[in-house]
Amino acid sequence: MADLLAVEGLSAGYGRAVVLSDIAFRLREGEALAVLGRNGVGKTTLLDSLIGVTRRFAGTIALSGRDIEGLAPEARAARGIGWVPQERNIFRSLSVLENLTAVARPGPWSVERVFGLFPRLRERQRQSGGSLSGGEQQMLAIGRALVTNPKLLLLDEPTEGLAPIIVQELLDALGRLFREEGLAALIVEQHAAKILPITDRVLILERGRIVHQDSSAALRADPAPLDRYLGVAQR
């Protein structure tokens, strides 16, 4: 498979503060990559750098072989980056259906397909976004990213703060996206046990640098690096 995303020697941050240093990795088409690390190590900054809201000090970011550095976030979205922020940022005053149709672009992912992935959203399509539960808002945020028909989906802590039953429902849906639909994704997560079963590869950040890269299967078989860098050997 060809490289969809190529990051080389990236150093980035906010203002004068350098948060990420010499980040380098590649993501192939159809591959799901988990980004693990403790709080404050630069995981969200990495996503922010990919969508174009940080200051770049060095390095390059290429999507489908084309440099996207210098492009505004909306231009990167048009090139195929879909983003699901930790805050979700849904339109709270609009209905579920309006949230989806407001941003939809032509492509295989339609509103109807999103309803098939998340039946709860179909049931609540006339309700306002603000009236949904936290888990339903997360489903809506993911669905809204999907209807933009991205090449690459970025998710920042998609299961944080949700009830276990909703977490499993979300993970099942994401597993379908990655395994059956072949959607490339980069997922920031703190809890390895949640995300390793549905991803292909993992990179671990510490103090703004990549300190370990491996396959998800290898880390599940030998979780010693998780114990070293995250503090707990999560299975």
Burial class (CB in 10 A: 0-12, 13-18, 19+), 9: exposed
Q: How many domains in the chain?
A: 1
Burial class (CB in 10 A: 0-12, 13-18, 19+), 30: middle
pLDDT for 233 equals 52
Assigned domain for 45 exists:
yes
Q: Is the pLDDT of residue 104 over 70?
A: yes
Assigned domain for 12 exists:
yes
pLDDT for 99 equals 97
Assigned domain for 59 exists:
yes
Residue 27 pairs with which residues in a beta bridge?
5
Residue spans of beta strands (DSSP E) within 30-109: 32-36, 55-63, 66-67, 81-84
Tell me if the pTM is above 0.85.
yes
pLDDT for 212 equals 97
Assigned domain for 132 exists:
no
CATH (domain of 212): 3.40.50.300
pLDDT band (50, 70, 90) for residue 186 = very high
Assigned domain for 120 exists:
no
Assigned domain for 91 exists:
no
Question: Which residues form the domain of 188?
Answer: 3-80+151-230
> Which DSSP string corresponds to 109-128?
--HHHHHHH-HHHHHTTTSB
Query: Mean pLDDT, to the nearest integer, of 67-73?
Result: 94
> How high is the mean pLDDT of the chain?
95
Assigned domain for 208 exists:
yes
pLDDT band (50, 70, 90) for residue 231 = confident
Assigned domain for 19 exists:
yes
